[in-house]
């Protein structure tokens, strides 16, 4: 059955975005660069899979870059992030080095998880990226607990848990929202409502975009909805919410985005939505193309320079990552249980 209702942004709702004011220009360029990095890295990963140089699973966040980049722009280095199976954007936006991401997906020792985790198990403590999690909504109690523990030790670091709309249907999500409020855990839950939990349209479960935030608001937690196509709006909203969380109360942000690619590399999505659904959405709503148009009105060269710099950076990082060492077969049983060999667990 074809389920077109999954697209949260109808053609009548073509995204135009706000004009970027002079004051915000430097930040808008930084946000543009951040989104371009995520897009370029993920396109490169797809290419590596097509060429047979990378293996394993991959869940693309193409089209959703503004949510990851806008939210992480509101964070400090010491803040923590937990993520999902679709987490490359979250990792890169939080500052995980792209070479370590590529190396992880190539299965190299220099990968951020020693080449053992792959696409769904990126983690990098030095960047505050506690990790992705292949268990839907598994990152949420992790973030709430980490934020609570950090607060008990002193300081005002916070944690952000990215979850999907499918994650919002998990029991652990609602248990954690309750506990986070009860214990005043300084965590921000960011629900990327991309219209689909694999093949299940989220509006069938929860209603139109914005309904998830309203459900949470009904429980007494501060909750907002933001259009996840507009990175400037996401960053502004996230800053307001992060300030509130840093002051000591959890909060919830629903970002309206859309899953452009199939669920994963091996998903025949044409069975549950028209084949052109993703490209059609992107043609009208691409958060990167949209911001590029808005920024080019100010300085076309600057945007082109960012594009070129990012392309060169990604190619060089991929080359270095691919050339790195593979773990020896004799070490296959290392890291199965925690051990002093673990480099990255502080």
Ligand X SMILES: Cc1ncc(C[n+]2csc(CCOP(=O)(O)OP(=O)(O)O)c2C)c(N)n1
Binding interface with ligand X (CB under 6 A) = 84-86, 134-136, 164-167, 194, 196-198, 259, 263
Q: Among Mg ion, ligand X, none, what does residue 30 contact (CB within 5–8 Å per kind)?
A: none
Toward ligand X, which CB reaches closer, 32 or 225? 225
Q: State the minimum distance, in angstroms, from the CB of residue 173 to Mg ion.
A: 13
Toward ligand X, which CB reaches closer, 64 or 113? 64
Q: State the minimum distance, in angstroms, from the CB of residue 226 to ligand X.
A: 17
In angstroms, the Cα distances linking 314 to 122, 127, 143 are 18, 19, 29
Q: Among Mg ion, ligand X, none, what does residue 86 contact (CB within 5–8 Å per kind)?
A: ligand X
Distance CA 325, CA 129 (A): 24
260 phi and psi angles, rounded to 5 deg: -75, -45
Q: State the minimum distance, in angstroms, from the CB of residue 185 to ligand X.
A: 21
Residues of this chain that bind Mg ion (CB under 5 A) = 164-166, 194, 197
Q: Among Mg ion, ligand X, none, what does residue 167 contact (CB within 5–8 Å per kind)?
A: ligand X
Distance CA 279, CA 283 (A): 6
Q: Residue with CB nearest ligand X?
A: 164
DSSP β-ladder status, 200-201 and 196-197: antiparallel
Q: State the minimum distance, in angstroms, from the CB of residue 198 to ligand X.
A: 4
Helix, strand or coil for residue 248?
coil
Contact 335, 341 (CB under 8 A): yes
Q: Among Mg ion, ligand X, none, what does residue 135 contact (CB within 5–8 Å per kind)?
A: ligand X
Q: State the minimum distance, in angstroms, from the CB of residue 86 to ligand X.
A: 4
Toward ligand X, which CB reaches closer, 118 or 166? 166
Contact 304, 31 (CB under 8 A): no
Contact 310, 39 (CB under 8 A): no
Distance CA 190, CA 304 (A): 31
Toward ligand X, which CB reaches closer, 135 or 208? 135
Helix, strand or coil for residue 323?
helix
């Amino acid at each position: 059955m074809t389920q077109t209702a999954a697209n949260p942004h109808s053609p009548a709702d073509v995204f135009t975005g706000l004009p970027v004011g002079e004051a915000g220009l430097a930040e808008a360029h930084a946000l543009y660069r951040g989104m371009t990095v995520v897009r370029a890295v993920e396109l490169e990963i797809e290419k590596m899979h097509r060429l047979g140089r990378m293996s394993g699973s991959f869940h693309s966040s193409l089209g959703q870059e503004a949510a990851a980049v806008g939210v992480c722009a509101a964070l400090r280095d010491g803040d923590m992030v937990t993520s999902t199976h679709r987490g490359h954007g979250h990792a890169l936006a939080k500052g995980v080095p792209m070479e370590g991401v590529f190396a992880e997906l190539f299965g190299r020792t220099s990968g951020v998880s020693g080449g053992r985790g792959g696409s769904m198990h990126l983690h990098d403590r030095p960047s505050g990226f506690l990790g992705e999690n292949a268990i839907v909504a598994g990152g949420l109690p992790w973030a709430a607990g980490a934020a609570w523990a950090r607060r008990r030790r002193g300081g005002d670091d916070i944690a952000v848990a990215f979850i999907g709309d499918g994650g919002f249907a998990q029991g652990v999500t609602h248990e954690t929202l309750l506990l986070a409020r009860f214990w005043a855990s300084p965590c921000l839950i960011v629900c990327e409502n991309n219209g689909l939990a694999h093949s299940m349209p989220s509006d069938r479960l929860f209603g139109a975009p914005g309904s998830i935030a309203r459900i949470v608001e009904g429980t007494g937690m501060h909750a907002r909805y933001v259009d996840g196509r507009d990175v400037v709006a996401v960053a502004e909203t996230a800053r307001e919410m992060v300030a509130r969380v840093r002051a000591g109360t959890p909060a919830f942000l629903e970002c309206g985005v859309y899953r452009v690619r199939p669920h994963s590399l091996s998903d025949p999505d044409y069975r549950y939505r028209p084949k052109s659904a993703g490209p059609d959405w992107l043609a009208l709503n691409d958060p990167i193309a949209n911001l590029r148009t808005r920024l080019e009105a100010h300085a076309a060269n600057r945007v082109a320079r960012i594009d070129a710099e990012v392309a060169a950076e990604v190619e060089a990082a991929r080359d270095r990552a691919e050339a790195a060492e593979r773990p020896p077969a004799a070490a296959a049983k290392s890291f199965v249980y925690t051990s002093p060999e673990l480099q990255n667990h502080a």
